Structure formats: structure tokens, C-alpha cells
Structure 1
């Protein structure tokens, strides 16, 4: 596996750039301003190149190459630093809670949730102490979903009363770090805005082209809504062709995730690649296609089609990535450059990261490039393992009837296609396997069965869906001249729509069938850390090098990586086996306590109402996965659970576990209970009407006062100051996150 750098020049450029970006992500806040250093290194590099060019013999290429790597590394650091909006002097962070009003513009798609609309606004000015000041910053906002309030639209300018709050850190053990996710998109604040807190005062889109594209995407979506009758098929049609997934129900999303076919509903490289392939095939039928003029025409048409499609999908980030990648491929072909796919991928990644360094943190960016890279390298090698076409063709005999010979030939062609599709799916999984475990904590063993049928049919459905849009456009054009002609043409459009809907129904039913037929094919609850993911990547790369170079050193390296990975898993399991932990969870409007012992847990909702599927999935399950839990039991209240609890008096429950005691107070303290020293914490629930002297008389001031999520914010604000003044330590799970007690400490 010898690396040839000459045809892969940009691979050498993008690697140090990515290293610089990663370094800033981990150590950025501690670094000084970096652009003077980059400027100085750039001047030194230019001077060295000028000096080397004037030498009669070859100059110091090694030194210049190392300096170029250093320049690109510092460039990655500097670009990421400049792209970090929170460093600006007029960022929202510097105004804190002093903001009275702010002016902002809606700068993203609006997501419709069951009870709210969610979108992102970009601030342009804030009013502090009666004066307006320029400001920058992104805010993730939510507003109630009501019949009287229209959905926020891209470009709406709002005047909002009140100050946004900094994004919250994860509130429960193992919970998804939504704050970090927002920060990677330059959003550092969140706010729930009531209807009387904001007013739309203007419409001024930050990007007029994107505003038109998003409006066009909704118009095109209306075509599917008109011609695709079934709600589920219409939702999948919008997701498949346009990437609009607002109407896809949760059950369908889970079915696709469990079978490894979620990528079908995300408009990205698959759809753009299909479009590119169709355009290339059609243009390849034209005469004179190998001439320079025809190559230029082909490139212009290909670019126009791809970017028109990107426009119709609202210029979403995933489509833009794919469009940029294929644009470089089209331009390279137009100029007759025999560049490798590795270099084209590196070029696309280099320019995308220069535009936005934080794309490196985007899961879609990582999966897209790794999948394409793996397909380019591995798919031909895996496909070469078997030669089904040759095997069937060898069975042909001259004396056989023509029908039998055609049967052998078609069997060879179809089997060869099936095997190549299998090789492609396997190749894509090799590189994305570690990321799937790290981000999604699961691996669908049925991905081959799912993709072998769903991907070809969904690919054909994309073509049919695009044909439907074209026919609708033609019909609209005919309607300008003759209403009767347009009406007759509409029957053809409806026929294509019927085929489109049937195809979507078929592959969707197939996905559900796979899920029902193979319920145990999804391996879930897998937890690996970032270093462990890197170790898996190391094993894969070392094995690929071994199979290519046939040197035992690479196999030994792969075994070493596997040994370190296994050792880290054993060490983590041993550390958790003796870990005992008590957790008061932060779940809105709920009182929930967890008792953890190694890989087993008992979760007790104190209000005796079972946790909803959403509450378990997003609040409890991530921590369970992080601990590799083997048993998690949910008990509706104390009376059914294994944790001993005593009702000392109405509104006061005393629970003991592993030698520690907690008091749960949900009402008044009557004073009939004797003093109870030695408690770990006193958990106040449901706005318990107690005063610090009453608590101190019964429990002393040593226990921590914990306000659980069933307490109102106004109650916590009032009681917190009173208890702190009385000498208590307090903890609000709604703001500070879950309250955790490690047993044995």
C-alpha cells in the first residue's frame, strides 16, 4: 500500500489543516491570537520559496515541505479561531443578563415539534440600560405551536423582550451534549419565547439566494403533497427527494435507524450522485462527446443540473457538501485532468474546511467523506473476491438454445450487479463502523438485506420523483397557452405520481418487514469512548495495510491496537463493577431517583407515574449505555421498588440505600418526627412549604438541600436564597444538572 503523493497532493495539504482544527477544538481557549503567527510563517515560507527558485540547483525541498505543513497546521488553528464567534468583543456573552431587548433575524429552517416551533435567530443589536448597541450571536429559540401564531420564516426580523440564557450543559449522566452541538454551529444561547415577548418588525433575509431556495423547496414540496395521497408516502417523498423530514413519524424514523437505512431519508451524496450519474449517461450518448468543446458543455450542463437540484432542496448543508464534491469531479474531467478520487476528496474537504472549520465536527461531514473514501478504496477489492458473471458465462455452450444462453447471460449480469452492490455496502460500513458505534451506540446486522433492496428502489424513486417535478413544470408551462392541453397532460403527471407513490410504499414496507422479521438484528446499547473509536480505526487501517503489503508488522500492530482496546474495556468494566451511585435526575416536572450498582439500576419515579418513552430515551438511557448496563428496572413509586422507604409523616419519606439516607419532602413538616442526623441530602419536591429553621431542627445544616425538577423556578429562586442564608448548601437539578452521590465516599 505505497502512498503516491504526486497525484494526491491535496491529501498532504488537508491533513495538517485538519490537525490544526482538532488542536483548536481541544486547546483553543488557552491559545493567544494566532493570525500574526500565521502571517509571519507565510512570509518565511514565501521567502524560502523565492530563495530556492533563484538557486542554480534544487533548493531545500524537505525544509520547505516541513514549513508548508507547519503553515497549514497554524492555518487550521487560525481559521478555527477566527470562525469562533464567541471571541468577538460584541458577542452576547459580554452582555450577560443585562439585555432588555434584542433585534434578531431568523437564520435557519423551522422545525415543527409536538408543542413548539424551534429555529435559530442571529442577533444584530441589543438594548442595555436603555441604549441600543451592536451585537452578534446565535440563539436557539422555541415558541409555542398554536393556531394563532404563524411558523417562523427565514428572514423574519424579530424584536424580542428579555435576555437569552447560555445553553445548558448536559443535565443527566451520559446525556447528549446539546450545548457543544450548538457551539459547533456558533450558537451559544437558548430561549423559550412566549407569544407576548416578540414581534415581527420586518423581513430581511441574511442571504437572499438561500431565502429564494428555501421558498422554492416548500413550493416543490407542495407538488408532492398534491400528487402523493398517503400521508406516510408523502412524508417519505419529501424526505427522499428534498430532505424535508418534518412530517416523517417517529415510528418510521426508528425503523430506518434500526435497519441501517437512515441515509435514504437524508438528501446528500446518494441523491446528488444519482443525478450526476444520470446526467453523465445522457450526455455520453451525444456525438463528439470526447472533444474539448463537448467536455466543456458537459461540465457546464452537469454543474447547472447539480446546483439547480441543490437550490431546489433549499441549499441544505448536506447537499452543498455533495455538490461541492461532485463539482470538483466535473471540473477535473472537463480539463482532462487524470487526478485520483483521493485527491478530489481532499480538495473538496480542504475548501469546505477553509470555509467553515467546524464542519470537521459535523457527523454528516465525517460519515460522508469516510464512506466515499472507503468505497473508492475497498469496493473494487471486495468485488474482486468473486466473479459471478464469469462463472455464469462459462456455463454457456454453443449447442444450447438461444433462450438458455440468454438466461445464463442475464443471470451473470444480475448476479454480478448484486455482488457489486453488496461489495459497495460492505465497503461503506468498514469506515463508518467506528463512528456508528461512537455516535449512535448501535449496529444493525441487517444492513445488507435492507440496503440491497431499499437503496436500488429508492434510487429509482428519486429519478421518478424528479421526473414528476419536471412533468409538473412542463404542465404548468403548457397551462400558459392552453388550459385543456395542460389538463390532459396532467393525467400523465398523475400516472408518474402513482408509480412514485407505489415505489415509496414498497421500499418502506420492505424496511418494516426486515425490522419485524429480524427483531434481534439490531445490536444496541454499545458504548465506546473517543479514544476507543480511534483504536478501532487503527485496527482497520493496520489490517488494510497488512492485506495490501503482506507484512507481519502491520498485523502485529493491529493485534496491539485490539489488545489495548480490549484492555480499556476490561478496565472500564472493572471500575464500574464496584461503583455505587445515587442520582436525583433532572427531568422536567418529574421527581425521579436512580440507584445504581455496577451495571444494574433501579429507577424510581416518586410521583408513581411511569416515565414516558421520550423521558427514558433521552434522560435515562444515555447514562445506562455509558455504564454498559445489563439490568435497568423502573418502579412506579416506593411501594413496589426494592429500595426501603418509610413514610415518617405526611409529606416526608425517608429512604435508605447502601448505608446512606435521603429525605424527600413534598409538604409541610409537622414537627412530630424526632431529629434525624446523618442524612446525605434533603430533596424538596412539589414546592414543599418548609422553612430553613424547620429543616435545620429536624436534619441539621449538614445535608445538601436539593430542589428536584418538580419545583417551580420562582419557588427555587426564593427558597435557595433563604436556605443559603441559613448555612445550607443547595443544588437545583433544573440548572446544575442531576444530583449525584457516590457511595463509599
Structure 2
């Protein structure tokens, strides 16, 4: 049994999370919550004081429940207060009236193939020729061609024009980037041309972060100087500093396919390795010194936060630093047995600072991974005692080398088993989130992590040693002659060679695992948020039953499993009979889809094959959501199973016309009459009524010609190959003629079910 009084934050932190999530899901129209939170806090404090003076089980339970309710309401109030869009001076209240604005770069710059992406925080806007203070975040993209250097943290920009509200998902099942940005208090986006802005000054929102980012760039220069191969240099920067700008897409995919992406993110792994090495070194050297427990905690905190500072104070390393800081303080206070409560305290404090961290996948994975290591790993490790097993194979009559071999084998087997238990524990706790966010599960995680994590851990130590050595030699270089500096530089060169070879080794191993087990990555798994919660509930009930052996928890686990299976069956039955015609929103493309339950056929009407990026980000989410099996992708209408015919007029072959007409493609599918027009529409031989008319490539049409040819009842759809100016020019004219219109670039994919379906 758990003595809850010793672990209060195992109750308070879930209550805080519940309140935050309730506001995120349901709280858009809620009134101000602070008065209610303060009132509940005062009432619970009074009730607790009364329960202490006159102890009674019912009064104590009531006071505890009221305190948990107060904490939950506090979480909702904190989330409400952190929602910037509620402020009266926010950009969301101004809309397109903004003529220009002044903002400061307030985030890291992401280097993409053709653009730089970063976040601006608005300080002032110009409306109707007058400047006024304003707030709000804008996610901006700037083309690399002509932009010069990447945007710098703290640079003050003067931007002409107004930002647009962030767009929601444009295609079925697509990632909701608008919601993701909103959790980071960013509600607008803008593509800014180089001639649309200028830098007017430097005013970093946080000077400590600015200095930290400059330090990280200087340290990255050490790796660039000593690690010669581009791939190994990119991985070195990602492994030790968390800078992944130069990691190519193939490498990222290889690590994702083998479940080792966490290696390339500076987070709990690197901070934990630094903490473990520091603890071991201090205990070995100064373990018997008086007051070791206290002053070693101070050294540990200093080193961890120095590392966080030198890696740019990124959010992931800050979370890890806070987490391990609480662990260090807990150990110094003699609370080693309450590490789970200590982690709950760390999560509670982080959520007080930023309630929307609860929706951050890094935050979720970090705490789940550490909790699983603390709770599950020791229990899994007890399944098998490798040392005892091989020690039992020793016999008194065996030679000393044979006995030493048995002992060595037992030590090695124990190390491998401990690493296996660690990997299993982390996967058990985190795989539901992997299914929900990434829609895949790497079956090869055990093989890949078993070798890659130890090698990469060693590489982290060597990389940190390289940085320390280079720093020490730089200080010596201030007083030594140039010849001595050149000789001493051989030391970091040798260490860098070892570092590079280690990175090469584990990268080659990851590539080999991917080639040796090509089918080990289970892709395109769809689980809803509710089903993810049910999976965690099932795991939790099972673990409690494992500890208590009370049948009520086994029954709870079985009940949750039945509900989870029922939700999967209901989801499959709901999607099986669904038929739908879809015009997709893919920039500069003409792509339509024909859905019949889990069967899908896509047609690229512009006769260009879909790129892997277009398929992955535009079509694949919908395929996963619908559980599609063997979807067909057609390039052009040739080969499509949908019956089509071409409608051309007599002018289409007349050489006197400079602008030739393009044939109209007509399709009939499940009772829907579809038409696709591009180019110039000539006079039709006879009217052809349609249900849906798709205009492509800025088709040269007039509302009258469309009405005469296809009838005014047709739904007109502008696909993504139509320019914005073309849509703006024709939309009002078509409405005046009686047509209904839909712009997939602005409104998202057009979806229509066949009649009677």
C-alpha cells in the first residue's frame, strides 16, 4: 500500500494536469477562474485546519478531495491566464487592420531546405497610420535565397504587411499545426519576403538565453573544426548540443525506423549521463569527505546547469535540468526513496511555470521514460539474475581461468540484461505515445538500443571531454608560444578522431539494423487520444494488480481492455461503409481521391507523380486515420479505375486559334458527376450537367460559359493549382451567377459523399 501522506504530489500533480487538460479541451468560453480557484483554496485550507484540530476520517477525506479540486481549478486558471489570445491588445483582436508591425525574434531558427523558420513576438503594430502597443506570436518563414544570414535571436524586425491567422489542417487526418502553435502561444503565420522587413536593432527578450545561444554556436565550431566528415559532424552537434540543422533526412528516417531518435535530442539522456559520470567521479574521489552529500549536490547542480547553458538553454535540456535538479536536491535531503514523488514535484513546478507543457510531446516522453526507469526497470531486471546463473556454473575443480571466464561472462550478461531491462521499461511506458503521435512502432528497438545507446553514451562522454580539453588548451594558449600550441593541438585532434569513429560506428550500426530488418517498423497505426488514455489506463491497472494482487485491479484492467477493443471495433465499423470524393489541398498540385471504406484511389490530375513529402504529410495521415489498405496512386487519368471521358469542342483542333482549348475531363463515380477544366473552355456541343466542377491551373472560363455548359447547380471547386488572385477574381462572379464555390487552398480539402450514402 502507498502511504499517500509521504507522497503528496503523486495526487497533486495529476489533479493539476486534469485541470489544465479540462481547460484546453472545454474552457474556450469559461469565465475568469481565478476567484473560484482562490475561494476553493481558502475553503480547503480551512477544512484541513479543522480536520487537524479534530481528526475524523470523513472530515479528512473531504478536506483532501476539496484540496485536489482546488489544485485542479488552479491548473485551469493557470492555463487560462497563460492564454495570450485573451488579452485585449493581442493580434487576434486586430485582424487584417494591421499595416505594419515591430517584433523581436524570440526563438531558435530552424534551417530548412529553402527557408528559415522562427517565431516573432510582436511589440507594436501600426493601425490606420498610428502605432500602438500589441502582443502576439507569429511563426514566420523567410526564403534563404536573398535573406542573407539566418534570423538572430533578439533581432528587432520592422515588417510591412499583416500576418494571417494560423491555418488548421487542410486535409483529412492532417497534423493540426494551428493547435500546436496555439499551445506555444502563437496564433499567426506569415511568409515574409526579404524586401518586406528590415532589422532595426537588437533587444533580446532574455540576455541569458542570447549569451547561451552564442556559446552553443561557438562550441559547435569546435566540432566543425575537428570532425571532418559532414555526416559525423552533424550527428556530433545533434548528440552533444542538440543542434540538428545539418542532419540529413535519410539519417533522421533511419533513426526513426529503429526507435533511436531520442539519441539526436539533448534531453534526459545526455543530462542523465553527465549526472551519472559526475556522481561516480565525486564519490570515487571524495566520498569520505565530511559533508559530501551536501557539497556534491551543489557541484552537481552547477555542472548540470552549466551544461544546459552551453547547449543553448533549449526547452528539452531545460526540462531535463529541472528534473535532475529536483532529484539532486531530494538526494541531498535524504529523500532517495521518494524519487517518484520528487519527479512529480518537478513536473508540478514546470506546469506552474508553463501549463501548456502538458501538451508537449517531449515533456510527456521525458517524465514517462524516467518514471519507467525508476519503477519498472528494477522489477524487470529481477526477472533474471545473470550473475547468479553463471556463478552457478562454476565448479571447485575448474581451473582459475575457467572460473574467471564464468565470472566475466556473468558480469557481461548482467550488463546486457540490465540494458535490456532498461530498454523494455522505457518502451512499455512510452509506446502508447509513439503510436498516437508517430503512428508507428519499431520492433527492432531492442537490438538498436542495446548497442547504439552504449556507444552513443560513450560518444557523449568523449565529446564533452573534447570540449573540456579544447577549453583548457585555449586558456593555456594565452601564455604559451605558437609552436607549443600547435603541438598541444594534437591532443584534441586525437580525441576528435576517437569521437568521430564512435559516431561513425553507431551510425553504421543503426543503418545495418534498418537494412537487416526492413520490415521491423510497423507503420500507419492509428489510435485516438481517447484510445491512448485507455491504453495507459490498462497499463496502470495491470501494474497495480502486479503489485497488490487484488482481483479488483485485474477486473479493472479487463474492463478497460474490453472498452478499448470495443472502441476499435466501433471505429472500424463506422469507417467501413464510408464513401467519399475528396479534392486535396496540396500546394500547386491537382490531386483527387476516391474513397470506398478502407479502399482509396488517388489521381494526380496534373500527370505529375506525388513526391514522398507530399504523400507523407498530405495523404498519409488520412490513410492512417481510415485504416486504408493498399491505396492506389495514379499519375494522370490513364490507368484509373474511375470511368472518364474527354469533352472537346471543334475549336480544339483549329490551328488558327493561338490559345488552344484543353479537353474537359468528365468522370462518373458512385452517382456523382464530376468535371475537371484547365486552360480555355470552348463552346460545348451540348450542355453536360455536373455535380462538382473542379477548376485547375487558372482555367480561362467565364461564369456564363460554365452555367451554359455544366448548369448553375454544379459545385465549383478551385483546386490548389489555382493562384490566389485567380480565385479572388472569379469567386464573386461565380456567386453572382448562382454557383457555390470552394477554395481548397483557403478552406481545406473539398469532401463530398455520393448521393444516398
Q: TM-score when scaled to structure 2? A: 0.96
Alignment of 1:485-504 (within 5 A): 485-504=484-503
Select the residue among 653, 657, 668 that pairs with 2:680: 668
* Partner-residue secondary structure (3-state), 2:124: strand
- 1:731 aligned residue (734, 739, 742): 742
Q: How far apart, CA to CA, are the structure 2 residues paired with 1:561 and 1:63? A: 28
For the Cα contact (< 8 Å) 1:52–1:59, is it kept in 2? no
Secondary structure of the residue that 2:335 maps to in structure 1? coil
Partner of 1:387: 385
**Quick check: 52-61 or 653-662, which moved more?**
52-61
Q: Return the offset for 1:551.
A: 3.2
Cα deviation for residue 50 of structure 1 reads 5.1
The answer to whether the aligner puts 1:271 opposite 2:270 as a matched pair is yes
Aligned to 2:443: 445
Match of 1:353 in 2: 351
- Aligned match of 1:316 in 314, 323, 326? 314
- Matching residue of 1:595: 594
Matched, 1:695 2:706: yes
Does residue 707 of structure 1 match 2:712?
no
Partner of residue 665, structure 2: 653
Aligned residues: 742
Answer whether contact 2:241 2:311 (CA < 8 A) is retained: yes
Aligned to 1:128: 127
Give, in angstroms, the shift of residue 51 of structure 1: 5.2
Query: Aligned partners of 2:484, 2:629: CA distance in 1, in Å?
Result: 66
Which residue is equivalent to 1:158? Answer: 157
Corresponding residue number in structure 2 for 1:16: 15
- Counterpart secondary structure, 1:397: coil
Matching residue of 1:90: 89
User: Structure 2 matches for 1:164-203, cutoff 5 A?
Assistant: 164-203=163-202
Q: CA offset at residue 290 of structure 1?
A: 6.5
Alignment deviations for residues 18-48 of structure 1 (CA, whole Å, 9 cap, x no partner)? 1100100111112101111122223333444
* Structure-2 change in CA distance of 1:44 and 1:536 (3 Å): closer
Report the alpha carbon displacement of residue 471 of structure 1 after superposing the two structures with TM: 0.7
Report if the CA contact (8 A) 1:53-1:59 is conserved.
Answer: no
The answer to which of 691-700 and 512-521 deviates more is 691-700
The answer for unaligned runs of 5 or more in structure 2 is 649-661
- CA drift of 1:109 comes to 0.6
Deviation at 1:58, TM superposition (A): 10
Distance in 2 (alpha carbons) for counterparts of 1:62 and 1:390:
47
Equivalences for residues 477-626 of structure 1 within 5 A: 477-482=475-480, 483-626=482-625
Please say if residues 283 and 289 of structure 1, whose CA atoms lie closer than 8 Å, have aligned partners that are also in contact.
Answer: no
Residues 653 and 36 of structure 1: is their aligned pair in 2 closer, same or farther, counting only changes over 3 Å?
Answer: same
Whether the 8 Å contact between 1:8 and 1:343 is mirrored in structure 2 is: yes
Tell me how far 1:534 sits from its aligned partner.
1.6
1:631 and 2:630 matched: yes
Tell me whether 665-674 or 270-279 shows the greater mean CA deviation: 665-674
What SS does the corresponding residue of 1:39 show, helix, strand or coil?
helix
Task: Look up the match of 2:239.
Answer: 240
SS at the partner of 1:470? helix
Compute the displacement of 1:683 (Å): 0.8
| 8 Å Cα contact 1:720-1:730 kept in structure 2 | yes
**Aligned-residue offset at 1:743:** 2.0
| Alpha-carbon distance in structure 1 between the residues aligned to 2:217 and 2:55 | 64
Deviations 1:665-723 (A, max 9, x none): 1122222231122x221111111111111111122221111100000111111111111
* Distance of 2:288 and 2:501 partners within structure 1: 37
What's 1:405 paired with?
403
SS at match of 2:140: strand
Superimposed CA distance per residue, residues 35-94 of structure 1 (whole angstroms, 9 cap, x where no aligned partner): 111222233334445556666999943332222112101100100000111111100011
The equivalent of 1:41 in structure 2 is 40
Q: Distance in 1 between matches of 2:201 and 2:16?
A: 41
- Report if the CA contact (8 A) 1:586-1:738 is conserved: yes
Q: What do residues 140-161 of structure 1 show as CA deviations (whole Å, max 9, x unaligned)? A: 0001102552210100100000
Deviations 1:572-611 (A, max 9, x none): 2222221111100000000001111111111111110101
* Superposition deviation, residue 338 in structure 1: 4.3
**Distance in 1 of aligned mates of 2:154 and 2:439:** 37
Q: Which residue of 2 aligns with 1:5?
A: 4
CA distance in 2, matches of 1:730, 1:198: 35
Deviations 1:304-332 (A, max 9, x none): 11001001110011111110011011112
Shift of 1:395: 2.0
What secondary structure sits across from 1:81 in the alignment?
A: helix
CA distance in 2 between partners of 1:695 and 1:57 (Å): 81
Kindly indicate whether residue 441 of structure 2 is the aligned counterpart of residue 429 of structure 1.
no
Please give the per-residue CA displacement for 1:373-412, whole angstroms capped at 9, x wherever unaligned.
Answer: 1221111111111111011112223333222221111111
- Give the deviation of 1:548 after TM superposition: 2.1
**Structure-2 separation of matches of 1:525 and 1:396:** 50
Secondary structure of 2:187 counterpart: strand
SS of structure 1 residue aligned to 2:334: coil
The alpha-carbon deviation at position 623 of structure 1 amounts to 0.4
Distance in 2 between residues matched to 1:213 and 1:288, nearest whole Å: 33
Q: Does 1:213 align with 2:201?
A: no
RMSD over equivalenced CA pairs, Å: 1.6
**CA distance in structure 1 between the aligned counterparts of 2:602 and 2:685, rounded to whole angstroms:** 28
| Aligned-partner SS, 2:679 | coil
Bigger Cα displacement from structure 2, 43-52 vs 513-522: 43-52
Is 1:458 matched with 2:470? Answer: no
Match of 1:717 in 2: 728
What are the Cα deviations for residues 205-247 of structure 1, in whole angstroms up to 9, with x where unaligned? Answer: 0000000011111111111110000000000000000111110
1:740 pairs with one of 720, 729, 751: 751
Q: Quick one: distance in 1 between partners of 2:62 and 2:200?
A: 59
Q: Is the 8 A contact 2:576 2:597 kept in 1?
A: yes
What is the rounded CA distance, in whole Å, between the counterparts of 1:612 and 1:438 in structure 2? 25
In structure 2, what is the Cα distance between the partners aligned to 1:660 and 1:48? Answer: 67
Structure 1 unaligned spans of 5+: none
CA distance in 2, matches of 1:742, 1:556: 42
2:33–2:76 Cα contact (<8 Å) kept? yes
Question: Aligned partners of 1:461, 1:429: CA distance in 2, in Å?
Answer: 23
1:626-680, Cα deviation, whole Å (9 max, x unpaired): 1111111111101221111111013411111111111111122222231122x22
CA contact (8 A) 1:167 1:188 kept: yes
Mapped contact 1:579–1:743 kept (Cα < 8 A): no
